[in-house]
Structure 1
Amino acid sequence: MPRSPFVFAIAVTTCAGGAAWAQETVNVGMCVSWPGYAMLEVAREKDLIPGYDLNLTIFEDPIGGHSALAAGQIDVYGCTADYIPVAIAADLNTVNVAYLNPSFGVDHIILAEGIEPADLKGKKVAAPQAYIGELLMGLWLDRVGIAPGDVEWVNLNADEAVGPMLSGDLAAAYMYEPWIGTVLAAAPGARSVVNTTDPEMLKTGIFMDSLYMNKTFIADHREAALAVLKAEWDGRQYWHDNVEETNGLIASYLKWSPEDVASVIGTNGKSVEGGNYTFDFDESARTCGVLDGEPPFGLANGSMVSSVALTNEWWVKLGLMTETVDPAAGIDCSLMSDLVAQGYRQAFAAN
């Protein structure tokens, strides 16, 4: 049952000697089944957050999860960062507290067989509305000199775009695997023209997984919020040090195969092309601007604010938003700053 945002659940744990103590329950949401959001499940299963009980829910509905977070039905939420400007404009009771994983080649724009970029004006292009696919399509079209209004937009996810791509109804589409392979195998002349390993796309910082929290949860239960944020990075450290075991754990939780998990987060404890690049704590703290040094991929220290501003700019260009918002209003880096002040550090490379 959904709970009031002002009620913090208590779980009672009994130790071997019979004594009991209260464990605070933190409700955590994942917008979709995705390995990049599963590190708090690793922390839960490996007892990396003593004193707290993590209650995880996979929504398979990003907007529904954002609504639950704003209402206080969950306290913490993993999802894509593209929603931050929308949450600011709607004055939701939520903030982004950390960047987690840049897309490192998951997301592609595929041109249909026989189509060149110069042919796209007046043609249909597909991307899921209000999602990073629409941003990637918009940015790439802009690069080749085509304005959003010069094409006919069709609101389709990757799986829905396969048939229209093969039938010739679409000139281009946002896609990810396995749908890219399906299209390229059936139409060898189709091709990927950009993906999120592109240096110019990476340095925008907008193709990013993010951790959100409810503002009331932070204000009323700051110690718990800090514990959950630390557990996110401790889960990542455990994964880095025990990749095969942890990929299997995540696969079991998500009901994926270990091979599919590895295709997203890799087997080397850091990244995989065509999947995610996993930020360590120091890299994420630098995007927040609370730790000296530069993040990877040409991102500036403190670049989270500019990334949100760029996302807002493109949502206006694409017609999803009508106003320019203050990007800092949707960001709270104070928790990351507190961990830095406590001496928490973490930097890991591929094994």
Structure 2
Amino acid sequence: MWGLGGCAPYPLMPLRIGAHPWPGYELLYLARQRGQLDPQQVRLIEFPSASASLRALAVRSIEGAALTLDEVLLARSRGIDLTVVAVLNESRGADVVLVQPGLQAPGALHGKRIGVESSATGALMLDAFWPVKAWPPETCRWWR
């Protein structure tokens, strides 16, 4: 009888998937809320940012994550072996540069403190936005 215990299959652990608050991932949270994610198969783990999900992937505390394709490329360039298994949505220009009221043109940001998200998306946004400016980036105060 004792020998047969070693032949029993191990219970499978749920697949741990990281996600952070972002409109494109809300369907994952909704599916969990409605009981459409079987907790025996999938465990959705909330992180504050994509960077936190990437750190969890790097140390293997999760098996997958909801990420943008640029974040996947960044992770792969840092040695994290990732494979895209599904594309959940498509961006249609939801990323924006926000400014305080009264700043009407990019030139009005010269010498101001500028906040940039420390992520692949933040870097892409900054790169796309910067060519329209007429001053060197060193003249701004960056807040990350």
Please give the TM-score of this superposition, normalised by the length of structure 1.
Answer: 0.31
Is 2:11 aligned against 1:10?
Answer: yes
Q: 2:50 aligns with which of 62, 70, 77?
A: 62
What are the residue-to-residue correspondences of 1:185-264 with 2, within 5 Å?
none
Is 2:140 aligned against 1:139?
Answer: no
Kindly report the root-mean-square deviation, in angstroms, between the aligned alpha carbons of the 2 structures.
3.3
8 A Cα contact 2:16 2:44, kept in partner = yes
The runs of 5 or more residues in structure 1 that have no matched partner are 1-8, 12-23, 157-351
SS of residue paired to 2:43: strand
- Compared with structure 1, are the counterparts of its residues 126 and 54 closer, same or farther at alpha carbon in structure 2 (3 Å cutoff)? same
Counterpart for residue 140 of structure 2: 152
Is 2:81 aligned against 1:93?
Answer: yes
- Compared with structure 1, are the counterparts of its residues 137 and 54 closer, same or farther at alpha carbon in structure 2 (3 Å cutoff)? same
Q: 2:114 aligns with which of 99, 111, 125?
A: 125
CA distance in 1, matches of 2:135, 2:86: 32
SS of residue paired to 1:98: coil
8 A Cα contact 2:17 2:63, kept in partner = yes
**1:123 positional shift:** 4.2
CA distance in 1, matches of 2:99, 2:107: 11
- Compared with structure 1, are the counterparts of its residues 79 and 38 closer, same or farther at alpha carbon in structure 2 (3 Å cutoff)? same
**In proportion to residue count, which structure has more strand?**
1
CA distance in 1, matches of 2:75, 2:103: 40
Please give the TM-score of this superposition, normalised by the length of structure 2.
Answer: 0.64
Q: Taking every aligned residue pair, what percent have the same amino acid on both sides?
A: 24
8 A Cα contact 2:18 2:66, kept in partner = yes
The runs of 5 or more residues in structure 2 that have no matched partner are 1-9
Counterpart for residue 27 of structure 2: 39
**1:83 positional shift:** 2.1
- Compared with structure 1, are the counterparts of its residues 33 and 67 closer, same or farther at alpha carbon in structure 2 (3 Å cutoff)? same
Is 2:96 aligned against 1:108?
Answer: yes
CA distance in 1, matches of 2:84, 2:124: 19
CA distance in 1, matches of 2:135, 2:11: 53
**1:150 positional shift:** 5.4
Count of residue pairs the alignment pairs up: 131
8 A Cα contact 1:121 1:150, kept in partner = no
**In proportion to residue count, which structure has more helix?**
1
**1:63 positional shift:** 2.4
Q: Which amino acid aligns with 2:116?
A: A
Cα-to-partner distance string for 1:16-62 (whole Å, 9 max, x where unaligned): xxxxxxxx6212111x2345324345178236x7xx61112112243
